[in-house]
Amino acid sequence: MPKVFYTLPDGTERVVAAEPGDSVMRTAIRNGVTGILGQCGGELSCATCHVFVDERHAGEFPPVSEDEDDMLDVAATDREDTSRLSCRLVLAAGQEVHVTVPEAQL
Amino acid sequence: MSTGRLLVVGAGQAGAQLVSSARELGWDGPISLVGGEPHAPYGRPPLSKAFLRGQAAAGSLALRSAAFYREREVDLVLGERIVLLDPPSGTAVAASGRRWRFDRLVLATGARPRRLAVEGADLDGVLVLRDLADAEALARRLGAVTDLVVVGGGFVGLEVAATAAAAGVRVTVVEAAPSLMNRVVGAETAGFVEAAHREAGIRVLTGARPVRFRGDGHGAVTAVELADGTDLAAGLVLVGVGARPRDALARAAGLRCDGGVVVDAYSLASDGRTLAIGDCADLPDPTPGSDRRLRLESVDNAVEQAKAAATTLVGDPRPYRGVPWFWSDQGALKIQIAGLALAGDEAVVRPGARPGQHIALRYRGERLVAAEFVNAPADFLVVRKALAQGAPLSREAAADTSMPLKRHLAGRPA
Ligand SMILES: Cc1cc2nc3c(=O)[nH]c(=O)nc-3n(C[C@H](O)[C@H](O)[C@H](O)COP(=O)(O)OP(=O)(O)OC[C@H]3O[C@@H](n4cnc5c(N)ncnc54)[C@H](O)[C@@H]3O)c2cc1C
Ligand code: FES
């Protein structure tokens, strides 16, 4: 099973076992990880699933699309080089991912 | 906090959010979430999109994991339809005879698809789309037909039309109003979307009304007959003409209903104690400054009203306020709407920065009240925020494409 390590804004970490094929966003919502809202259910319409992906995973996910890029530009928490919309981060079997949840999504 | 027994009837988008928020806010009594469908709460938006395309399995639609309910001690009861409610005595009865006692009751029963009262509406192959079972039937049949007629040019109908057309099915959309998505977007946006659907090979007939579905003599639909005599071949018909709130239970329980369970800004029904949320509720418009009443059918409303309703339950009531928003993915079109426009609101159409984009900002006098976007999700986010904060955007700025909307809204001098 894939595993996601969420570092929350208060510094605590939550580790969640995920289903392969689920996104980092969906895994958070399903398991009640706060701070990721995913208002649109993963249809790239809301930008409330912003996360910072740990640098060690650079290249593990498909590149940022034009829409995602534009949306990250206007995300509620300023974007960084490691910013992604987590509904785009689909987990493969056995994959382990470390992400940090930003202060605000709205 | 000692909070008593909470019963939530309807395990959909709103019900799932309500139990999550109630626990988060400290409701510590027993919670039962009872749903008539055999599935744990799931998201409906993919039913007309990714699920129909075969890109999302049924299991992937669940809104929360099984562990989520278990860990929060929410008793999720599936496949039980509540048929009787007695709020004064705190009793609910399911069709199976099973009973619940409750101290607080939340109705989150959603809506049912409206059907057409025309001849042949009950023929085999005339379908509606509301739940997973409907979507499974639609997906199965779509794979085997050449001609689909979609009756109703609203969100759900157009989403299915786009999905089917992309899969190679010949699709005709029949809409009675003069333009598509008539109640939700202005004529400019409707025109843009219609042109795009035509380009994708969908036949769109507006101002057209079906008067009869015809069968093959063995009970299966073969054609749709329109008021002007036009005859459309149809191996399959999807009727997407809106939804009716499921408020019969509430009405029978003596709660005021008026095309939905009538609630106030705290989601309280006419007895001042029962709550109703989501598609089944008739509520005060949450838009700041508005004093009309309405029904909203969207994920945004189901989730945000549920969150506000949870504050009522735990005795720290906050009124439900916010700028409603909607999205609809129709094939290559990502449509997003922020705010609620009224029929007379004028549109300032802003040319998109990229081909395929469309932005219409809706004005009531000089005030921006709503906005419609096609394939411009970042602009949507910026304007939604401006609407929520009441930040002004003049008509001139809206039409001025020398600067992105983001700059027009951020760049104002302090
Ligand atoms: C095909 C489709 C696509 C959509 N796409 C979008 C979209 O892209 N964006 C968007 O914002 N919105 C979309 N919507 C609308 C959105 O899904 C609804 O607004 C939302 O689901 C409403 O949530 P709800 O909890 O009020 O109702 P529902 O999700 O319908 O849940 C109500 C539940 O209560 C159950 N129930 C009813 N009566 C009883 C009873 N007596 N006893 C027990 N259980 C009962 C029902 O079976 C149902 O499971 C779409 C809807 C459909 C059908
Ligand atoms: S969940 Fe809405 S953009 Fe990711």
Predicted confidence (pLDDT) at residue A15 exceeds the cutoff of 60: yes
Extract the tokens encoding B110. 């959603």
Among candidate residues B178, B213, B241, the one where a domain is terminated: B241
pLDDT in tens, A63-77: 999 999 999 999 999
pLDDT of amino acid B56: 85
Q: Is residue A66 part of a domain?
A: yes
Range of the domain at A53: 3-100
pLDDT in tens, B281-323: 999 999 999 999 999 999 999 999 999 999 999 999 999 999 9
> Three-state DSSP class for B294?
strand
Q: How far apart are CA A51 and CA A10, in angstroms?
A: 14
pLDDT of amino acid B1: 56
Residues B89 and B123 placed together within one structural domain of the fold: no
Extract the tokens encoding A14. 């939550």
A41 in B contact zone (CB under 8 Å): yes
The domain that holds B45 is classified in CATH as 3.50.50.60
Atom number, ligand 2, closest to the C-alpha of residue A88: 4
Extract the tokens encoding B111. 């809506």
Give the residues of chain B that fall short of pLDDT 70. Answer: 1-2, 411-414
Interface test with A, best of B321, B334, B381, B405 (most A CBs within 10 A): B381
Residues B122 and B214 placed together within one structural domain of the fold: yes
Q: Is residue A105 part of a domain?
A: no
In Å, how far is B148's CA from the nearest CA of chain A?
25
pLDDT of amino acid B278: 98
Q: How many domains does chain B have?
A: 3
Q: How many domains does chain A have?
A: 1
Extract the tokens encoding B60. 């992937």
CB distance B382 to A76 below 8 Å? no
Among candidate residues B241, B259, B289, the one where a domain is terminated: B241
Query: How many C-beta neighbours within 10 Å does residue B105 have?
Result: 27
Residues B101 and B72 placed together within one structural domain of the fold: yes
Which amino acid appears at position B224 of this protein?
A: V
Q: Is residue B324 part of a domain?
A: no
Instruction: Report CA(A26)–ligand 2 centroid distance (Å).
Output: 9
pLDDT of amino acid B414: 36
Instruction: Report CA(B35)–ligand 1 centroid distance (Å).
Output: 11
Element (H, E) at A15: strand A13-17
HEC secondary structure over B17-78: HHHHHHHHCCCCCCEEEEECCCCCCECCHHHHCHHHHCCCCHHHHECCCHHHHHHCCEEEEE
Residues B140 and B217 placed together within one structural domain of the fold: yes
The domain that holds A37 is classified in CATH as 3.10.20.30
Find tokens 């008067």 and name the residue.
Answer: B211
Residues B62 and B157 placed together within one structural domain of the fold: no
Q: How far apart are CA A68 and CA A101, in angstroms?
A: 17
Among B270, B273, B271, smallest CA distance to B283 is for B270
Predicted confidence (pLDDT) at residue A87 exceeds the cutoff of 90: yes
Extract the tokens encoding B251. 């009405």
CB distance B276 to B261 below 8 Å? yes
pLDDT of amino acid B166: 96
Which amino acid appears at position B54 of this protein?
A: G
pTM (2 decimals)? 0.96
Extract the tokens encoding B303. 């989730």
Residues B86 and B119 placed together within one structural domain of the fold: no
Q: How far apart are CA B103 and CA B96, in angstroms?
A: 22
Reported ipTM: 0.91
Residues B255 and B227 placed together within one structural domain of the fold: no
Q: Is residue B320 part of a domain?
A: no
Whether the CB of B205 sits within 6 Å of ligand 1: no
Which DSSP state fits B44?
A: S
Q: How far apart are CA B346 and CA B368, in angstroms?
A: 10
Residue B236 vs residues B124, B145, B150, B214, B227: alpha-carbon distances, Å: 9, 7, 9, 11, 19
Q: Whose CA is nearest to atom 3 of ligand 2?
A: A44
pLDDT of amino acid B413: 42
Q: Is residue B318 part of a domain?
A: no
pLDDT of amino acid B213: 98
Range of the domain at B391: 341-409
Q: Is residue A53 part of a domain?
A: yes
CA atoms within 13 A on the CB side of B366: 5
A45 in B contact zone (CB under 8 Å): yes
Among B13, B25, B180, smallest CA distance to B110 is for B13
pLDDT of amino acid B411: 56
pLDDT in tens, B391-413: 999 999 999 998 889 888 875 44
> Three-state DSSP class for B75?
strand
Q: Is residue B328 part of a domain?
A: no
